[in-house]
């Protein structure tokens, strides 16, 4: 009997327009968004400039670095830095208004 295997990727959906792309667990969300043709603000790619700051509306992410440039309050509010966040499930994101 064959057991179904888990999909090798997740889905990242961007609100409010509903664009979506494959989100690979072994690469930062920002890279997946760019590869999927989604225009997301970015600059430094190491979690310090905060240009890519967004809200994680739904789903889970993990960070490969101990402190990704977010305050405890921002993390509690659902803020995420896609340049250093890796998807741990399907996610829904929204860019911060500037």
pLDDT tens sequence across 20-78: 999 999 999 999 999 999 999 999 888 889 999 999 999 999 998 877 789 999 999 99
Task: Give the C-alpha separation, 24 to 36, whole Å.
Answer: 11
Domain boundaries of the chain, sorted by first residue: 11-95
For residues 8-21, give the mean pLDDT.
95
Confidence of residue 1 (pLDDT cuts 50, 70, 90): low
**39 φ/ψ sector (left φ>0, alpha ψ -120 to 50, else beta):** beta
Note the pTM of the prediction, 2 decimals.
0.85
Of the options 3.10.20.30, 2.60.40.10, 1.10.8.100, 3.40.50.300, the CATH number for the domain spanning 11-95:
3.10.20.30
| Confidence (pLDDT) at 76 | 92
**Residue with token string 């057991």:** 3
């Amino acid at each position: 009997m064959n057991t179904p295997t888990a999909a090798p990727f997740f889905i990242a959906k961007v609100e409010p327009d509903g664009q979506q792309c494959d989100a690979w667990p072994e690469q930062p969300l920002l890279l997946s968004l760019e590869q999927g043709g989604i225009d997301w603000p970015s600059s430094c790619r190491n979690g310090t400039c905060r240009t890519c700051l967004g809200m994680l509306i739904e789903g889970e992410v993990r960070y490969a670095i101990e402190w990704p440039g977010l305050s405890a309050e921002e993390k509690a509010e659902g803020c995420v830095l896609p340049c250093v966040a890796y998807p741990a499930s399907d996610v829904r994101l929204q860019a911060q208004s500037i």
